[in-house]
């Protein structure tokens, strides 16, 4: 008899939707059909069973800032949010830009609850001066390179990085921000920054780099992935580039389709994030981009910060907010999209961008890897920061009511979340 069976759920993947049981043994799906038996039964009545979610953009803070998060605590937050795989961002201390740090992160990942992949920096120390040893790191399994937190400012260096990447078959992910325009700005430049007297960053600081990198992708043939798109202009340019056949992909965060710069009205630093929260029109454009597929993936940009770090003036507090445990609820509550499209943006689309589509986001059939998320799309709950598994509490959604919650998460055949509780 199989070790585990998920009973009575609506299975939704790229093949469609059917109500079947899913049997699991040795990390793989060994049966899909009616009335399956197993040693252990996970009830999925009223729930959706989907391929596991993949977050392309997670800050786990280890090594270097374990007070805010560790790979272990972040992985628990991830599986509680339905994520079976994460791509860790490289802005740790030290930077993930050499083989020893990549090995350390991956080793810690193997002990964690989630299937952890790591990105690595494009340039040494994310300083934008010299290229990181991309071939060596690719050999260790890195598939995404990014200087996240900084865009690569030097256009010649970015061109070289892209050319070099094409020889490795890896993807470059860009945090689009022209620092000459954004430097000294701490929120979106516009009506609210003018009212609050907070120096702003114009939308064009992001858009100019999106425009530049689309051109470089055309020039080099390198796939470029745009991180956390936040402006209407960015979405429009990515849409046009895709229509023209340029190899670009994009993600949007849950906060960029949920919140606007008006949230900064009380100088609450929980709303400080980069790229900054934008306007209603930008939120609408991001939603439309997810709706028509111009934006592939929903990402969290989960960015834990300790309370002390956020108890600073708005201009000196670090940017970033939590996201892993609220992503599904926000996507289902805020986006007016069919279930299978929400799942696609959380699962198989980011899996393909991360180059892990055979292990995560795969269709649920005999023999596929057992990385699965079971969620109740009608479960209403209220976000309580104290209930989060992250070590940090910087969620902007405290007290917000969300519809949709993860019930069980299966990673490599192991039920790491059962009935909303982490099993280790």
Binding window for other proteins (CB under 8 A); candidates: 30-38, 220-228, 309-317, 375-383: 309-317
C-alpha distances (whole Å) from 48 to each of 65, 77, 411 are 36, 20, 16
Catalytic position from the list 301, 363, 387, 419: 301
Question: Could you tell me which of 139, 53, 133, 52 has the C-alpha nearest to residue 90?
Answer: 133
Q: How far is the CB of 95 from other proteins (least distance, A)?
A: 24
Distance of CA 283 to the CA centre of its chain: 18
Single residue of 64, 167, 221, 313 touching other proteins by CB under 8 A: 313
Site for other proteins (CB under 8 A): which residue of 200, 275, 319, 344? Answer: 200
Nearer to other proteins, 196 or 337 (CB): 196
State in angstroms the smallest separation of the CB of 152 from other proteins: 25
Q: Is 197 in the site for other proteins (CB under 8 A)?
A: yes
Q: Is 191 in the site for other proteins (CB under 8 A)?
A: yes
Of 30-38, 66-74, 241-249, 265-273, the window that binds other proteins (rule: CB under 8 A) is: 265-273
Candidates 231-239, 262-270, 383-391, 409-417; binding stretch for other proteins (CB under 8 A):
262-270
Least distance CB 316 / other proteins (angstroms): 7
Toward other proteins, which CB reaches closer, 2 or 304?
A: 304
Q: How far is the CB of 200 from other proteins (least distance, A)?
A: 6
Q: Which C-beta is closer to other proteins: that of 233 or that of 404?
A: 233
**Least gap, CB of 203 to other proteins (angstroms):** 11
Residue 195 interacts with other proteins (CB under 8 A)? yes
Q: Does 381 bind other proteins (CB under 8 A)?
A: no
Q: Is 301 a catalytic residue?
A: yes
Q: Pick the closer one to other proteins by CB: 76 or 310.
A: 310
Q: Which spans of this chain sit near other proteins (rule: CB under 8 A)?
A: 189-200, 202, 266-267, 269, 308, 311-316
* Residues belonging to the active site: 301
């Amino acid at each position: 008899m199989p070790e585990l069976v998920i009973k009575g759920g609506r299975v939704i993947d790229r093949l469609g939707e059917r109500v079947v049981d899913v049997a699991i043994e040795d990390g793989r799906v060994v049966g899909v059909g009616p009335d399956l038996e197993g040693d252990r039964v996970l009830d999925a009545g009223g729930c959706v069973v989907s391929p596991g979610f993949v977050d392309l953009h997670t800050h786990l803070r280890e090594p270097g800032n374990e007070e805010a998060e560790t790979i272990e605590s972040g992985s628990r937050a991830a599986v509680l949010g339905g994520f079976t795989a994460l791509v860790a961002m490289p802005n740790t201390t030290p930077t993930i830009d050499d083989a020893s740090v990549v090995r350390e992160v991956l080793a810690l990942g193997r002990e964690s609850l989630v299937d952890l992949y790591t990105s690595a920096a494009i340039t040494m120390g994310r300083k934008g001066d010299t290229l990181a040893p991309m071939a060596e790191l690719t050999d260790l399994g890195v598939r995404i390179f990014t200087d996240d937190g900084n865009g690569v400012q030097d256009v010649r260096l970015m061109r070289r990085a892209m050319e070099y990447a094409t020889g490795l078959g890896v993807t470059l992910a860009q945090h689009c921000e022209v620092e000459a325009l954004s430097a000294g700005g701490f929120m979106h430049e516009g009506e609210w920054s003018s009212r609050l007297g907070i120096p702003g960053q114009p939308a064009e600081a992001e858009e100019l780099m999106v425009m530049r990198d689309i051109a470089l992708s055309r020039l080099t043939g390198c796939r470029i992935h745009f991180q956390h798109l936040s402006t209407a202009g960015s979405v429009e340019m990515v849409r046009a580039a895709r229509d023209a056949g340029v190899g670009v992909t994009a993600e949007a965060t849950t906060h960029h389709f949920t919140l606007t710069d008006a949230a900064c009205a009380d100088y609450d630093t929980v709303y400080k994030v980069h790229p900054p929260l934008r306007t209603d029109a930008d939120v609408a454009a991001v939603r439309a981009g997810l709706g028509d597929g111009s934006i592939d993936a929903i990402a969290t940009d989960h960015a834990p910060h300790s309370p002390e770090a956020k108890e600073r003036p708005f201009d000196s507090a670090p940017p970033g907010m939590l996201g892993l445990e609220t992503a599904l609820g926000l996507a289902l509550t805020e986006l007016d999209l069919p279930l299978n499209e929400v799942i696609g943006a959380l699962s198989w689309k980011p899996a393909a961008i991360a180059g892990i589509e055979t292990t995560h986001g795969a269709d649920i059939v005999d023999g596929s890897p057992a990385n699965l998320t079971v969620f109740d799309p009608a479960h209403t709950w209220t976000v309580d920061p104290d209930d989060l598994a992250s070590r940090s509490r910087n969620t902007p959604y405290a007290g917000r009511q969300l519809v949709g919650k993860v019930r069980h998460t299966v990673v490599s055949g192991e039920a790491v979340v059962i009935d909303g509780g982490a099993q280790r």
